[in-house]
Amino acid sequence: MSTNKSSGTNQYYKDWFDWWLDDVQPSEADKLQLQQVHSQHLAAAKPIEQAADDYQPKYLTLNLSLPKPSLSNLSKSNFNSLNLQKLVSSKFGKAALAVCASLLIISVGYGLVGRHGVGVVAPPETAASKALATAGGSAISVSRTYASFKPVAPIGKPQLANYAAGQTTYDGLHDMYTYDDTFQGAPLTVSQHAVTSQYTSATDAVTKIAAQIGATNKIQLTNGTAYLKTDPVSNAQDIILSVRGILLYVDSKTSHSPADWQVYLVGLQ
């Protein structure tokens, strides 16, 4: 690259010198002066050409010290140049705002479920729980935040009736309240629902739902009768009863005797 440039410069001087000698016919003194200039130029260009030929690329290291960015370094004109009103009013802006609002609502909803144990949560999917849900009627048009009734819980465990996070759930579309508990070291789930107008009383509802799910083993309680069903293969048990006029369904994966169940069920209030 540098060699070509120097060679071009030399050729220029040579051509100019030849032209001068051929057409202008300078004096002998001028010729001598031009020859000296030409020789001096060639002598000065030789080290440059040699340096270009001998050049070998080398790696360079640059140490840069940049200021830490901060809000104070930002130009206010950059913000002033943004037309926020136009951006928000555009179709893209409206769509973005709608998406952000939806995500915010969903986040808040999940936060409430995690903190208070309330929200739309599906009840246990078993034959008995489906029957209990059917007994409560179809889903309502607007989801509730809290049950329309005061939930039932065992004596000494009031948190199970007060939407305790991690232990209770509430299905606001079906007005179904559920809590998790243990009995004799085994886990169980209790779902509850208010009696609907399709039954004449809580006793009527318990009797008909028990027949529907095949719970025929009776457990006598202080204020009514509970009906027990035991799966002959898995030994899982379903119980239907009512407390304070509220329908209750107990789902246990562990089998207990009717006498043991009577102790637990009498303690519900």
As a whole number, mean pLDDT of residues 73-88 equals 50
Query: Quick one: pLDDT band at residue 199, thresholds 50, 70, 90?
Result: very high
- All residues at 6 or more sequence positions from 131 whose CB lies less than 8 Å from its CB, including other chains: 209, 212, 213, 240, 249
196 neighbors 208 (Cβ within 8 angstroms): no
Return the pLDDT at 131.
65
> The pTM is what?
0.53
As a whole number of angstroms, the distance between CA 213 and CA 16 comes to: 115
| Nearest residue to 244 (alpha-carbon basis) of 159, 150, 132, 134 | 150
Query: Quick one: pLDDT band at residue 258, thresholds 50, 70, 90?
Result: very high
Which DSSP category does 268 fall into? B
Which DSSP category does 119 fall into? S
Query: Quick one: pLDDT band at residue 111, thresholds 50, 70, 90?
Result: very low
Work out the number of other CB atoms within 10 angstroms of the CB of residue 122.
13
Helix (H) or strand (E) holding 99: helix 91-116
In tens, the pLDDT along 154-190 reads 999 999 999 999 999 999 999 999 999 999 999 999 9
244 neighbors 193 (Cβ within 8 angstroms): no
pLDDT winner (highest mean) among 35-44, 56-65, 86-95, 169-178 = 169-178
Helix (H) or strand (E) holding 84: helix 84-89
In tens, the pLDDT along 30-47 reads 667 667 755 665 565 555
Work out the number of other CB atoms within 10 angstroms of the CB of residue 58.
5
